[in-house]
A and B are shown apart, each in its own frame.
Chain A
Amino acid sequence: MLKYSISSIFIVLISLSAFSQNDSIVNDSIRYAQKYGLRLGADLSKIAKTIIDEDYTGFEINADYRMSKFLFVAGEIGTEEKITDSEYLNSTAKGSYFKAGIDYNMYKNWFGMENMIYSGFRLGASTFSQTRNSYTIYNTHNEWQEQSLIIDDTKYSGLSAIWAEIQFGLKAELISNLYMGLSVQLKGRVTETEPDNFENIYIPGFGRTYDSGSFGISFGYNISYLIPLFKKED
């Protein structure tokens, strides 16, 4: 019960080491050959959100390839369509993106385990369009008429954004070669093309933007499968 009183992140971290203690017998004299290969997966949170949220459609495939004991080359490719609705404005952002970078495993596994607690870096790029679906003219002195909704579908195409991203996450092997992963992604836009007389409200891959600056945050919940190519001892 004590564990439940700690924050969830700690619970996950603790549980990683907890079950490894249950399963494994540490034997210093035996060297364990670790699996190397290509891990392919999908973001379950985007699939779930597509089902739950009628304003959202998204899909992301992610992959990583193990370079050394701790280093992975990693990337994501995906597509998103998102309707953002506020009191005065309704707009749709639609586009695709890719991210490429590295993951560094900071977790020293117990014998025989191949889990990851990692930090990663990505460079992301997105090309997208934004459509102004409807808006109401913001006017606080209006006795002339009811605030009427203006329906229009002005489409701003050819927009793009590039951002840098730091990821923190974990990947745990549930059954042989099948991994469940969780990550938090902190992002900062480097450049973006903004529509004339409008702004990028949502950027596929980056997520929603904020008035306060060029930073963003998002979460991923992945399931992935490792295609083992070869084994290598430490």
Chain B
Amino acid sequence: MNYLKLKVFPLFLISLVLLNCEKDDICAEATATTPQLILRFYDQNAPEETKTVSSIVVYGFNDANEPVFFDNIGLSTSDSIIVPLRTDSEITRLVFHKDFDIDNNGTPNDDSDDIVLGNPDLLNISYKLEDIYVSRACGFKAIYTNLEISADSDPNPWISSHEIINTTVENQNSAHVKIFH
């Protein structure tokens, strides 16, 4: 009788191992993630026409008023830009800095006397956060609803106006906001 018991037990162990091996619990990189905000720049004099912004860089300000730079946003001349919104706050403060350049005052090695050139405009983007279930492996992503934008008062803005195309940011298929300049 012990003979049988000896044979059944290993099979039981093997089945336990099998149960623990089958993990499809890795979040695949291609899975749709929390969407980013897509802004497109239009000509204020010809609102149907896109218009590139020269040497634009976008960065944010966090709650401590420190600038936050984004890995995938460098200096570019483009008619559209994609920026990440915060998921830990229902307001994101973004600086759209046009004609960005640094005048090093003739001392390339000394940062202290550098002058930042160009025209920064600050937009406050507010929204409601909503968590959407993705999968067991990826958990939940955020989407943004009730999108609203207000510009900080600026004596010399380069942005003349904006228009929200879609108040819900749930994918990155098309632009959510038009910026006129």
Residues of A contacting B27 in the complex (Cβ-Cβ under 8 angstroms): 86-88, 138
Contacts of B112-137 to chain A: CB distance below 8 A = 131-137
Contacts of A106 in B (CB 8 A): none
Query: Which listed segment binds B: A15-23, A34-42, A157-165?
Result: A15-23
Given contacts A8-B7, A19-B4, A137-B87, contact A89 B15 (CB under 8 A): no
From known contacts A89-B136, A139-B87, A211-B135, infer whether A219 and B19 are also in contact, taking CB-CB under 8 Å: yes
- B31 touching A138, Cβ below 8 Å: yes
Check if A221 is an interface residue, CB within 8 A of chain B: yes
Is the pair B72, A219 in contact by a Cβ cutoff of 8 Å? Answer: no
A199 and B136 form a contact (CB under 8 A): yes
The answer to whether B71 and A139 have CB atoms under 8 Å apart is: no
Report the separation of the CA atoms of residues A84 and B132 in the bound assembly, to the nearest whole angstrom.
19
* A172 in contact (CB, < 8 A): yes
Interface Cβ pair total, 8 Å cutoff: 137
Q: Would you call B3 and A15 a contact (CB within 8 A)?
A: yes
Within 8 A of B (CB), among A1-42: 8-9, 11-12, 15-16, 18-19
> Cβ of B140 and Cβ of A88 under 8 Å apart?
yes
Of the 9-residue stretches A65-73, A118-126, A143-151, which lies at the interface with chain B?
Answer: A143-151
The one of A11, A15, A88, A219 that contacts B12, using a Cβ cutoff of 8 Å = A219
Looking at chain B's contact residues, the main secondary structure is mixed
- Please state if B137 and A87 are interface contacts (CB–CB under 8 Å): yes
The reply to whether B34 and A18 contact each other, CB–CB distance below 8 Å, is no
Q: How far is the CA of A190 from the CA of B143 in the complex (A)?
A: 32
B82 to chain A: closest residue by CB = A141
- Given the complex, which residues of A lie within 8 Å of B140, measured CB to CB? 88-89, 135, 137-138
Contact B131 A197, beta carbon cutoff 8 Å: yes
A contact face: mostly helix, strand, loop, or mixed: mixed
The 3 A-B residue pairs with the shortest CB-CB distance in the complex, in nearest-first order: A88-B139, A89-B139, A139-B34
Hey, which bits of chain B sit against chain A, CB under 8 A?
A: 1, 3-5, 7-8, 10-12, 14-16, 18-19, 24-27, 29, 31, 33-34, 36, 60, 62, 68-72, 84-88, 92, 131-142
A-B contacts, 10 of them at CB < 8 A, read: A8-B7, A8-B10, A15-B3, A89-B139, A137-B142, A144-B60, A144-B92, A172-B8, A175-B1, A218-B19
Give 5 new A-B contacts, CB below 8 A, not counting A9-B11, A138-B141, A141-B84: A12-B8, A87-B25, A138-B140, A140-B34, A197-B131
Enumerate chain A interface residues (CB-CB to B < 8 A). Answer: 8-9, 11-12, 15-16, 18-19, 45, 49, 84, 86-89, 135-145, 148, 172, 174-175, 180, 182, 184, 197-199, 201, 210-212, 218-219, 221
